Structure 1
Amino acid sequence: MDLDTVIVGGGQAGLALGHHLHRAGVPFAILDAHDHVGDAWRQRWDSLTLFTPRRFSALPGLPFPGDPDGHPGKDEVADYLARYAAHFALPVRLGCRVTSVRPGPAGGFTVDTSTGTLQARRVVVAAGAFHTPRIPDVARKLAPRVAQVHSARYRRPGQLPGHDVLVVGGGNTGVQIAAELADDGRRVALAAPTLGPVLPQCWLGRDIFWWFSRSGTMRLSPQSRLGRRIAAQNPIIGTDVAGLLRRVDRVGRVVDAEGDHVRFAGGGRRRVDAVVWATGFRAHYPWLQVPVLDPSGAPVQREGVTDWPGLYFLGLPWQRARGSAVLGWVGRDAEVLAARLAEDRRPAPARPAVPA
């Protein structure tokens, strides 16, 4: 085998796992398609600021610099991840796009990349959960003159033409972008049939994530009753939603479109110059040629472990807990997985001799 372990993806999940594997003495390489560590964060919208304060935004072994109670911007996160990889001298192979992971001819896996082919005993998939935008089919019915952008490619209000903008999606991303566009003087409609419960960024003098940390909220299991409830609610954090709804028009679910008009559930209709689809992402692993995906393309796994020996996932939402896909908490899942991989490398105990 060329490598003991290949980690696909050099974001926070892959880097945190790399740190723990390095400490455990497990040989590995991190493969990342970007040109620089942290580029996935640099490509997000300009004003993006984390909900989590810096004290709760660090990966294992390296504090996040700056005011621990302040909230970092997306470029700060990107720079921190690059510093993290350099600080621990993690073996990140940049510009290395994985094109295929398939069972190897002699066991393990064959990993085809844009820079060559590797053989690996184990593969950890730490990418793919937030890479492929989900855009409804109705988008194709809009006229070419209507500018359309998914939130993954939204950068700033100035990239959108015209005055009338529709933001589709009522999660944290949708309400934040709607607020920014309203601040820019656009006439904004927010298509959000449902909105989750609104939580303040600060409560009783403490950041909400201080309370989450003290109460164990970020460690909640997806199988727990409270975990299932929180996952279904998708709370909105830190946005003054009541104030926002006084500045934007809230409309229903998008059901159809024609030309530069969009129709909503209940019969409403609106002309738009631009649409921002804040409609989330879908799991997408077209390069994974191992039968561990369900019919929708999502991984079939339990706490990151699949039924295919040697193939694991890391960084999925609610993989082991509420914090599994959150920057400051993914290290806990990484530590558990690294311990499993290190244990798997140890030689099996010798069997006692059988008397003749």
Structure 2
Amino acid sequence: MYGNQTRIGRLDTIIPVLVIGAAQAGLAAAYRLQQSGIDFRIVEGAGRIGDSWRKRYASLTLFTPRRFSALPGLGLDGDPEGYATRDEFADYLERYADFHRLAVSTGTGVEKLSRRADGMFSALLTTGETVLAGSVIVSTGGFQRAVVPSVAAGLDEGVNQLTSETYREPSSVAPGTVLVVGDGASGRDIAAELAASHRVLLATGKPRRLFPERILGRSIWWWLSRTGLMNAGRESFIGSRMRRADPFPDRDRSFASLERRGVTIVPRLDQTAGRQVQFVGGRTETIDAVVWAVGYRDEAAWIAVPGAVDRGGRFIERDGVSPVPALYFVGRPWQRNRASGLVMGVGDDAGVIVEAIAGGRHPAEARVPREIAPVTLACL
């Protein structure tokens, strides 16, 4: 939507809201803005909508079944109990923007976001254009730049080093022994896939719990939604417990299942020297490649707004609201609850933020989450 835009001179354009990022969070925000009659512009640095998904490893599928993986206003085709593939979901995002006539400026990133003395945001785009906006929604997601720990510096140049961001498929990894560091969902997926062609070591991290994929014939996500657990606030007792446990569904990814595939489970990585790695407890191995799957960090160097980013380079927000007036976020892990970091939650989070923009209120006043049912699951 490009309705009420004002052009100043040759370069500057004034718009009410600028949405940065056009994956699921940005498109959900754009849809909510459109439904509220608020003019906006949405920009995406990639050349094509959905490319943030297409660039990830080829075997990736969504965490949640299709039934729980659609954005507001358009369903996801296919078996509702099945899981959308990487490319399938990327194409869905493209179709979503077209279906709702969301005019996304692709190939248009934000080189620098600053705030003027009059309170307007100034966004210098990679195209050379400058956009002035009354409000900004940052929807670049929570998986922006894979973390490479400092221990990586001890490895020899001959060790093929990849991350969960740069890994694509087994053929892209040097033959021989591969160490996958990080036993979250991505680390386990990658280790399982590599086991068919490589000797694989999986270095564990913090204790993790896996919950069953289905209970009494229904998806675990149905149960988590039905009981209200997906809506438990991040600071609530239940929400805090879920955050600490950080459970994810066991889709044949338990340690026992991985070991049956040939993956060797090893303790936390302790130190490296050349091609040698040592784990907590003293075990050593010689490796040919490593895949770092230890998490992601924010990519925030482009935000030159005082108070928007902490000293560690992390976005500062609570419930999607920055301490900087009129700066908002959608798509952050645990932005409001467990659903926030999943496709199933970004529509509601975007709705709360847009309601706040429309009414000039804090999002906490815009919508009160429904009461959490007094039910917990043993897997939490």
Q: TM-score range by the shorter chain?
A: over 0.9
The CA distance in 2 between the partners of 1:344 and 1:105, in whole Å, is: 20
CA distance in 2, matches of 1:91, 1:243: 45
Q: Does 1:37 align with 2:53?
A: no
In the aligned structure 1, how far is the partner of 2:201 from the partner of 2:323?
45
Kept in 2, the 8 Å contact 1:4–1:26? The answer is: yes
> So what's the TM-score if we normalise by structure 2?
0.88
Q: Which amino acid aligns with 2:63?
A: F
**Unpaired runs of at least 5, structure 1:** 346-356
Aligned length: 344
Confirm or deny that 1:134 pairs with 2:147: yes
Say yes or no: does 1:253 pair with 2:264: no
Quick check: 1:17–1:331 contact (8 Å CA) kept in 2?
A: yes
- Corresponding position of 2:309: 293
Aligned to 1:239: 252
1:134 Cα shift? Answer: 0.6
| Farther-moved stretch of structure 1 (191-200 vs 270-279) | 191-200
The CA deviation at 1:263 is: 1.3
Aligned partner of 1:313 in structure 2 is 329
Structure 1: how far apart are the matches of 2:85 and 2:229? Answer: 24
Question: What corresponds to 1:81 in structure 2?
Answer: 93
Give the aligned partner of residue 239 of structure 2. Answer: 227
Q: Does 1:179 align with 2:179?
A: no
8 A Cα contact 2:189 2:253, kept in partner? no
SS at match of 2:188: helix
Identical-residue share of aligned pairs (%): 42
Q: By how many angstroms is 1:105 displaced? A: 4.6
Local SS of the residue matching 1:120: strand
Question: Any idea what SS the aligned residue of 2:16 has?
Answer: strand
Moved more, 167-176 or 241-250: 241-250
Question: Aligned match of 1:120 in 133, 150, 170?
Answer: 133
> Is the 1:122–1:310 contact (alpha carbons within 8 Å) kept by the matching residues of 2?
yes
Alignment of 1:1-356 (within 5 A): 2-115=14-127, 116-127=129-140, 129-182=142-195, 184-237=196-249, 238-241=251-254, 242-246=256-260, 247-291=262-306, 292-344=308-360
Please tell me whether the aligned partners of residues 175 and 239 of structure 1 are also in contact (alpha carbons under 8 angstroms): no
1:353 corresponds in structure 2 to none
Query: Is the alpha carbon distance of 1:59 and 1:128 closer, same or farther for their aligned partners in structure 2, counting shifts above 3 Å?
Result: closer
CA distance in 2, matches of 1:239, 1:119: 49
Deviations 1:79-106 (A, max 9, x none): 1000000111112110011011101253
The answer to whether the 8 Å contact 2:142/2:341 transfers is no
**C-alpha separation between the residues in 1 aligned to 2:304 and 2:24?**
24
Considering only aligned residues, what root-mean-square deviation do their CA atoms show, in Å?
A: 1.4
1:29 Cα offset (Å): 0.7
SS in 2 for 1:161: coil
**Once structures 1 and 2 are overlaid, which stretch shifts more, 45-54 or 17-26?**
45-54
Query: How far apart in 1 are the matches of 2:141 and 2:92?
Result: 21
Moved more, 229-238 or 150-159: 229-238
Note the alpha carbon deviations across 1:306-338, whole angstroms, 9 max, x for none: 221111111111011111110122101001111
Q: CA deviation at 1:252?
A: 1.7
Deviation (angstroms), 1:128:
5.2
Code of the residue aligned with 2:339 in structure 1: it is: G
> Secondary structure of 2:157's partner?
coil
Three-state SS of the structure 2 residue aligned to 1:19 is helix
Pairwise CA distance, 1:199: 1.4
Aligned equivalents of 2:81 and 2:144: distance in 1?
30
Distance 1:53 1:128, change over 3 A: closer
Deviations 1:45-66 (A, max 9, x none): 1111112111110001111111
Question: Is this contact kept in 2: 1:176–1:239, CA < 8 A?
Answer: no
One-letter code aligned to 1:298: R
Q: In structure 2, how many angstroms separate the alpha carbons of the residues matched to 1:228 and 1:221? A: 8
Q: How big is the shift at 1:194?
A: 3.3
Gap regions ≥5 residues in structure 2: 1-5, 7-13, 362-380
Q: Deviations over 1:142-186 (max 9, x none)?
A: 11111010011111111111221100001111111111111x232
1:189-240 deviations in whole A, cap 9, x for unaligned? 1100434112122222111111112111211110111111111112131234
